[in-house]
Chains A and B, each alone.
Chain A
Amino acid sequence: MYQVAFYGKGGIGKSTMAANISVALAGKGIRVMQIGCDPKHDSTRLLLGGRVQTTVLDYVREVQIGKRKIEDVMMKGTSGILCIEAGGPEPGIGCAGRGILTAFDTLKKLGTDDLGVDMKIYDVLGDVVCGGFAVPLRGEYADGIVLVTSGEFMSLYAANNIMKGLSNFDTGRPRLVGIILNSRGVDGEEETVRRFAEAAGTKIIAVIPRHRLFFEAESSGHTVREMFPDTKLSEMIDAVAQHIIDVRDGKIRASFPRPLDDDQMSDLAAGREIRRGTCIGAPRFGCTACNPRISIKESKIMSSCAAYGAVAAYLKMNDVAVVLHGPLSCAYLMDTARAKAVLELYAGGIYSTVPNHNLRCTMMDDGSSIFGGVGNLERTLRDTVKEGYMKIAVVTTCMPGIIGDDSLTVINRVIGDNPGVGIDYIPADGDVNGEFTDGFIMAVEKITEMMDLSLERERGTVNIIGSSFFDIHSVRHLKEMGKLFSAFGLKENCRFLDETSSEAVAGFCRGHIDMMVNDSAATIEMASVIESKTGRRVLSVPLPVGLHDYVEWARQMGEIMGMEKEAEREIERAESDHREFIETHSHRFRGRKIIVMNRASQNIDWLIDMLIGLGADICRVGCVPSPRKSGSRSASRHLGITTLDYDTDELRRDLDYMDPDLLIGEFTGPVGNRCRIARVGKVGIGVLPTEEYVEYLENIMRLPREEGWKEGVKI
């Protein structure tokens, strides 16, 4: 079987040429299939006497995989030509390129290669603007390419682009059959196209004049070749058909395209002699001017997406429904992880709000990626409003972002129809706008708009700001935080963002003090968003972890609350208790060789303070770079003894050379059982949890190096 793709600028007459040539080929005894690849699905109209048929893409929207049949999307036309239309979305909606991909994949699976066809003709829309429209150019499809053009510059420009696309899919064999000049009657047309063809390494295989017979035939839904077989025009069409057959049979050689560069195209347009061109080679779509990437090493490795971050932020508000505009897989992956965590917190008595399931999904599928997903969005939004939600957030995944869904118009329409309902729009577009934290911050920026800036501060109330509240997600940690607060007469106002509501966020400005839960990069960024939105100042000292931070924090609280003396008393008590603790426990650590390996984004100053206090021999503090976020803070007060960009290779060398008693890190595996391993996990708030952590380390050093379960069957 031989396959030919007809390409050219929109409206240049490709369908007319393709249909006429199909009839001519059939007249020569060739069994022909013509596949229209234009969303307006009119390629085969002239072969079907004007009848309309079901397009492949409409069909796949309706019929499930496994139940599809080729007969449902194929009709027999003039001279037994098999006719198929790929179909596609309305102009400006969805992704027609994706449509071509799906249509071709579906046709392959439906067995179009097994129908005994001798020749397939693809009639392809306009310009090669993306990978989808280039599908017919791929080696497994087009054996030959016919360009249809007029002498107008834009038409030649499109033909040149198609040749660039063809170069991109170089199969190692010549495939450019030639150019059909479909005349528009402009001055010097044939000469212009001839010059173009020569410069591009191909030739004109037919010059088709403008002729009233085309109009007459098409008006009655037929081809010239069928209605007026004995005319000069039909002779010309037959000649093109024969040319294609000769190329197929190897009697005429096709050529490799030499697309013109910008300067050459300027020469062509100006009527000048076309200069020798630079080799365009195989440019990438959409980016011919810059150096294309060639390796993953040039990408930022992101292990999460902005959409998930935005969803996670909004789901911390119990009265807000989140509509995820995207496929079900995204909703499933996001929801299972979050819901499990919430269920565990609730079951453990940490969450007091009854868990709910307030994530909705627009269920975008292949069909909506082709035809646009705004219909799905509108349906889901209206259903969510019907459920009674007054506050909704729409977060986009990569699918609507890539196909360019106009989500905002839909949102505004739904808001207009439902007074009192508020809908936030977060166009995270999957990972297009970055990773988890980027999406989280996008959401935070929106959520801060709910804050009522007119409220008066209430003395002694605290807003706690953080992207993650894992540090206080246990009953003991909550109690410890309560103790810290009560010493200074403080009480919680709003957790931003954790187990909260739009009402609590609205009352944020009632809080007297704004405090960060930790000093991670994300939390600092959140604090900065709040400061710029409200004009308030967030304390630079976060909730304390360990004695050093506690002292600093207590002094600051004493100052703010006018309780300096009480603060000093608290500090004295804490220092005394801590000294006693160190004395009691240091005998297990004194002189013990310890390596600490930590992520750049996590502050473990408290741990290093503690190990120094206990007299441990800290051989190394290695800081693993965070691949996800540049600019994260590194452990701050102990930078002098920290090895930055520490990796597992260095760790293995250290383990061999230093032979430590204990390795504290966040990993399992690569170091085997060479020494005891403790995890550096989330500790909690205050001094007590850090002391409890030391007791955990003591246990690790007394317990067997290897657990018995590892004797199970090796994987």
Chain B
Amino acid sequence: MRALPDGFNGAIMAVESITDAIAFLHGPGGCRVRHMVHSTAVFPREDPEDKAGYDIPYFYGYPRVPATYIDEYDYINGAAYKVSEGLPIVMSKNPALVVVINSPGAGLIGDNHEKVLRDLGLGSKVVCMDETLVSMPFTVCYGHTLRAVLEKIGPEKVCPEKDTVNIIGLTIMDKDWRAVADELRSLVESMGLKVKSIPGAGASVSELRDSVNAEYSIVVCPEACAGLSELYESYGVKVVRSEAGAPVGFDATERWITSIAEATGCDPAAALESVRRAKDRVYEKFVGTKYNSLRIKGMSFSVAGTASVIRPLTEWLYNYLAMAPVAVSADPGADKGEIEALKAFLDSAGYSESFGRGPEEGSDAVFCEGITAYTMALNGGCRIGVPIGYSSMGLDDVIPRPVYGVQGAMYILDEILHGVRGS
């Protein structure tokens, strides 16, 4: 079984992506610890020297994802008293926003958070998420939570600022998301647009409030921002989405750039030039070591992940490297349009039967979340295991190795080239 994060993980990580917000978990310590470790790993926000200030109840020495540590007594008797006691302590750290999130077990108790907020008079700075999002798709719930937060904090619509954009649909669980944010920002700015915010990937509460004043919202991964897109549209923000899916591989990255140019009327030349330069570099490498390209051509590959990511990746590996897509599997919560486009591509390429097959059956190269990819590579299920999914705890690199954008294409090619050595 592939171990994928779910909607509960998504809700917490979405809140943790907001620079000055705190996810206050109404749940057991066991639920807290991994989220605390993971959110710190993918998005460190606090200075470790400040840890001493968190040696207080609910934080217990660690700044991230404070929790109510509910136990058997609380499941039976209710634990609203802990939310009531804990919120002022959490608020003492002066966050711009606290979002109370129920753990799977706490969701069954029925504690009345709204009453606690009323009693404490904390309405404007605290949002409660009463939904139970367990076992639902991570991406959908990440975007859903951001939307719910944005709705509740009250966006401030003043007037649209011309040539400003938000980049949406990027999560802090995406591999090397900071590098992606930097690259996409740079590509967009090279077109003469100004990036107002990147909701879900390091935006602050005030940036979120102000994000409705952007002229455009540019979609990276549609699954992670479906609800958010609707919300922006309701505020008159034009949502720009590439027909090629997420910017994965050179082709889709170019299409992503041209989609923005077509929607905004901006000049894409500089952005496209950066893709061209990267393609030139790859050409040199492949020409220089032609044996490698011969080794790659004809290799089979399996891919599993978010539909808008695996669709362009599949098309790119097929067209750019002449690799055979023998297993293509979309994670739950897939964008319908992406699935249709993916199926149409596989049909046209003569690989219809590959759709819906999981990577477990084995192939030359497997592209999916790190743990499955590495495990398969170690146990002989594939020759090359390339992580393209959500960050796996601790499996990180210093050199940026994202999946999206030009750097992402180079990373994927690097992994394939390294993997075919000696074959």
Contacts and interface: CB of A to CB of B under 8 A. Distances in A.
B114 A138 contact: yes
A715 to B, nearest CB: 5
B104 A327 contact: yes
Contact of A403 (B32, B108, B114): B108
Given A356-B375, A402-B108, A715-B46, A285 B114 contact: no
Nearest to B112: A138
Given A332-B6, A715-B45, A361 B1 contact: yes
B158 interface: no
Nearest to B32: A303
Interface stretch (B53-61, B250-258, B261-269): B53-61
Interface string A62-75: 00111000000000
Contacts of B50: 669
B75 A402 contact: yes
Contact of B375 (A299, A343, A369, A432): A343
Interface of A is mostly: loop
Contacts of A139: 114-115, 118
Nearest to B45: A715
Contacts of A329: 5-9, 31, 104, 134-135
B131 interface: yes
Nearest to A668: B48
Most buried by A among B68, B86, B130, B144: B130
Contacts of A297: 57
A201 interface: no
Contact of A431 (B30, B35, B44, B114): B30
A186 interface: no
In this complex, the interface size class of chain A, counting residues with CB under 8 Å from chain B, is: 35 or more
A402 B375 CA distance: 35
Contact of A294 (B8, B81, B375): B81
A365 B136 contact: yes
B73 interface: yes
Contact of B108 (A97, A296, A304, A435): A97
A293 B30 contact: no
Contacts of B344: none
Contacts of A303: 29-30, 32-33, 60
Contact of B30 (A97, A308, A327, A652): A308
B34 A333 contact: yes
Contact of B105 (A285, A337, A356, A399): A399
Interface string A334-348: 011101100100110
A714 interface: yes
A397 interface: yes
B399 interface: no
A578 interface: no
Contacts of A337: 34, 393
A131 B81 contact: no
Interface stretch (A98-106, A539-547, A557-565): A98-106
B132 A369 contact: yes
A169 B115 contact: yes
A398 B85 CA distance: 23
Interface in A663-698: 668-670, 672
In this complex, the interface size class of chain B, counting residues with CB under 8 Å from chain A, is: 35 or more
Interface string A112-136: 0000000000000000001110110
A710 to B, nearest CB: 9
A295 interface: yes
A78 B314 CA distance: 56
Given A340-B394, A364-B135, A399-B105, A64 B55 contact: no
Given A98-B108, A135-B110, A293-B77, A360 B371 contact: no
A336 B371 contact: yes
Given A66-B226, A287-B76, A340-B394, A299 B69 contact: yes
B49 interface: yes
A436 B29 CA distance: 11
A332 B5 contact: yes
A354 B1 contact: no
Contacts of A65: 131, 136, 140-141, 144, 227
A484 to B, nearest CB: 30
Most buried by B among A135, A284, A328, A715: A328
A319 interface: no
A284 B33 contact: no
A140 interface: yes
A274 interface: no
A489 interface: no
A130 B108 CA distance: 10
A301 interface: yes
A126 to B, nearest CB: 16
B30 A435 contact: yes
Contacts of B74: 293, 299
B82 interface: yes
B289 interface: no
Contacts of B34: 333, 336-337
Nearest to A298: B73
Contacts of B49: 669-670, 672
Contacts of B108: 95, 97-98, 132, 369, 399, 402-403
Given A134-B110, A169-B112, A304-B30, A357 B372 contact: yes
Contacts of A304: 29-30, 33
B52 A301 contact: no
Nearest to B11: A329
Contacts of A641: none
Contact of A332 (B4, B28, B71): B4
B119 to A, nearest CB: 10
A430 interface: yes
Contacts of B58: 296
A97 B8 contact: no
A139 B118 CA distance: 10
Most buried by A among B68, B134, B141, B374: B134
B77 A284 contact: yes
B379 interface: yes
Contacts of A450: none
Contacts of A714: 47
A366 B73 contact: no
Nearest to B55: A648
Nearest to B5: A332
B339 interface: no
Given A295-B57, A305-B30, 20 more contacts: A66-B144, A95-B108, A131-B112, A134-B112, A139-B115, A140-B114, A294-B81, A296-B82, A305-B28, A328-B6, A329-B5, A329-B6, A330-B104, A335-B371, A354-B378, A365-B135, A431-B28, A669-B51, A670-B49, A714-B47
9 contacts: A327-B6, A328-B5, A328-B6, A337-B393, A343-B374, A354-B378, A365-B132, A401-B105, A670-B55
Interface of B: 1-9, 28-35, 44-52, 55, 57-58, 60, 68-78, 81-82, 85-86, 103-105, 107-112, 114-115, 118, 130-136, 140-141, 144, 226-227, 333, 371-372, 374-375, 378-380, 392-395
What 7 A-B pairs come out closest when comparing CB atoms?
Answer: A131-B110, A305-B30, A398-B105, A327-B134, A669-B51, A670-B52, A335-B3
